[in-house]
Structure 1
Amino acid sequence: MAEDNPKSSVMKAGVDDAKWYWLAEGWAPGGHIREVDFDAQMRGIDPLFEGIKIVDCDTHFTEPADLWTSHAPAGMKDKMPHVRRIDGADQWFVGDKHFGSIGGNVIAKDRNKLLGRLAFQNYDQIDPGSYLVAPRLAQMDAMGVWAQICFQNGGVTQVGSLLGLGDEPLAVAITEIYNDACKERMDASGGRINGMGTLPYWDKDLMNQEMRRIADMGLKGITLPDRPERVDSSSAYVGPDGKVSPFWAEVFEICNDQGIPLNYHLNASLDANSAIWDNLGFDQKLPIHALLHHVGCAATLSNFMVSGILDTYPKLKIGLIESGMGWVPFWLEAMEHQLDEFRTRENRGLKLRPKEYFKQHFWVSYWFEDYAPKHMLEEIGVDRVMFETDYPHPTSLYPGVQDKLVETLGQHDYATRKRVLQDNAAELYNLEI
């Protein structure tokens, strides 16, 4: 690793990133159980959407307890991530290093939903569809969803913690096994469950090697960090000379040339705590945290627009996931004004304006919103908006997915419904529909 930039504003990656990926207070006992009328609310696809293969572009697949131990290379099984149950809570460990909880899981085995907490404590309590393929497909059928784009749930793949192991072959094996599992689920589900690959972006050569392997496996996308310089200043997307960093050149080239999308998921590089008042309680802070991370998605969009990366790679596709959509018109309007006033385009030789970059490179997703999908599709771009449930996370749409779709898209014509629910995600992720 190169010497860090002492002037950088980024929060540095740490060995405890995985340990604190899901706050322990969030999976402490308690919360409120919402009873779910499963048959009424999870009734399959509504007649309004018959013939549409709905793609849910933001879900999470909880890593099975034996994911790494069952796929371990020879001689490495004892080193692999494994689950220990401590005071009733299932926790990931790598050796004796704590790698955090099993992630956000608020859907119970009895199909009810936990409110007021981030997760149930262990596998015995949660919906098997959270971590097994066949039950997951059954849940998707009940939601009326044909395909899902899946992101990690626990924090085992957090780069800071992997580096903290001091065992690079182990860190690489953990990363490769995660990506192999994405391929296995995709194949086992007939292309309906699509995990996004992860990269060992602490090392250029290792990263490029795994990027080539991901492309060869046919994974439908990768997840990237919004601030890769959290690991090392040399791994930033833009170098000290203001140009695209050679560190990322091959990854961007592969994605640009093969149409593999980059995904930025509810970006967390912003220090949300710095904007939240002291002495607020857990249930007061968490909603503000989530909203500030939406601003992080907007910041990532802006960073790409002013960086020159999109001019160098004009076919790059970027999904802003769990981003929301209602902020887009305001943000683009503000970007246009600010760049004009500061002459950023002229100074940096940028080829397009912010609204043009957005139309060419970016997709956003919605789930809880009402106003934006009803009234803002044309302004944002009907071909730029996707749908998500965020299953099985807190604030996910479960249950009543189809009711939400009827409410938000029912007034639009069939072609618009199909574009938002199927075609946009199919085009971003190269799904065979």
Structure 2
Amino acid sequence: MDMNDMILVSVDDHLCEPPDMFDHHLPAKWRDEAPKILHTDSGDDVWTFNGSIIPNIGLNAVAGRPKEEYGIEPTSFDEIRPGCYNVRERVKDMSAGGVLGSMCFPSFPGFAGRLFANHPDKDFAADLIRAYNDWHIGEWCGAYPGRFIPMALPMIWSADECAAEVRRVSELGCHSMTFTENPVPLGQ
């Protein structure tokens, strides 16, 4: 589709984070503790982090399927439409659908990065959030400038650290942030 024919901007999209998203962004000291994809005996791909299992729920990846087929599957990267986790394929899908721009919310970290914010080691949590933001801004959105509206995760446990991250990602060209409806339960 010709770029001049694309007029839609979607501001409520989601992505399925790819398995290698932390490989080039998280400091080496955290690599063993970083979230990782585990392929289960039942064929599911799940994220593992801090002793928890976070499934790739199919509702994050039902693009291209009729609404009556929506469910909790697909649950593995082999079953998920590649445009859900591969930015090049996402842009192809967007172009085919006449979508000029997209803002993508996180999936496994949760809104406002709750999964990371709840980690007791706030230095680790901060590095996870910076790694996620660097991946999202640089690799996902940066691969196709002008096609995505970058959206960062906040360091919600500290107003000062959150403000510093807002300034940092702003310098990277990101001017939006996902936020929780109520930060109180996160200990803020």
TM-score normalised by the chain length of structure 2: 0.85
How far apart are residue 159 of structure 1 and its match? Answer: 5.0
RMSD (Å) for aligned C-alpha atoms: 2.4
Q: Hey, what's the Cα distance between the residues in 2 that align with 1:187 and 1:116? A: 30
Residue 61 of structure 2 is aligned with which of 98, 105, 108? Answer: 105
- Say yes or no: does 1:53 pair with 2:14: no
Cα deviation, 1:359-402, whole Å, max 9, x if unaligned, reads: xxxxxxxxxxxxxxxxxxxxxxxxxxxxxxxxxxxxxxxxxxxx
Match of 1:208 in 2: 163
Counterpart of 2:61 in 1: which secondary structure?
coil
Cα deviation, 1:277-336, whole Å, max 9, x if unaligned, reads: xxxxxxxxxxxxxxxxxxxxxxxxxxxxxxxxxxxxxxxxxxxxxxxxxxxxxxxxxxxx
Within 5 A, what are the aligned runs for 1:10-409? 44=1, 51=5, 53-86=7-40, 87-95=42-50, 97-103=51-57, 104-107=60-63, 111-113=64-66, 115-155=69-109, 160-184=114-138, 185-232=140-187, 235=188
How far apart are residue 162 of structure 1 and its match? Answer: 2.7
**Aligned letter for 2:96?**
A
2:152·2:178 contact (CA, 8 Å) conserved in 1?
yes
How far apart are residue 165 of structure 1 and its match? Answer: 3.1
Counterpart of 1:56 in 2: which secondary structure?
strand
Counterpart of 1:55 in 2: which secondary structure?
strand
Structure with max Cα Rg = 1
Counterpart of 1:135 in 2: which secondary structure?
helix
Match of 1:414 in 2: none
How far apart are residue 130 of structure 1 and its match? Answer: 0.5
How far apart are residue 189 of structure 1 and its match? Answer: 0.6
Counterpart of 1:137 in 2: which secondary structure?
helix
Structure ranking higher in helix proportion:
1
Structure 1 residues 215 and 102, CA, compared in 2 at 3 Å: closer, same or farther? same
**Aligned letter for 1:142?**
A
1:133·1:188 contact (CA, 8 Å) conserved in 2?
yes
Q: Percent identity between the aligned chains?
A: 25
**Aligned letter for 1:105?**
A
Cα deviation, 1:231-282, whole Å, max 9, x if unaligned, reads: 13xx4xxxxxxxxxxxxxxxxxxxxxxxxxxxxxxxxxxxxxxxxxxxxxxx
Structure 1: segments with no counterpart, 5+ residues: 1-43, 236-433
1:99·1:161 contact (CA, 8 Å) conserved in 2?
no
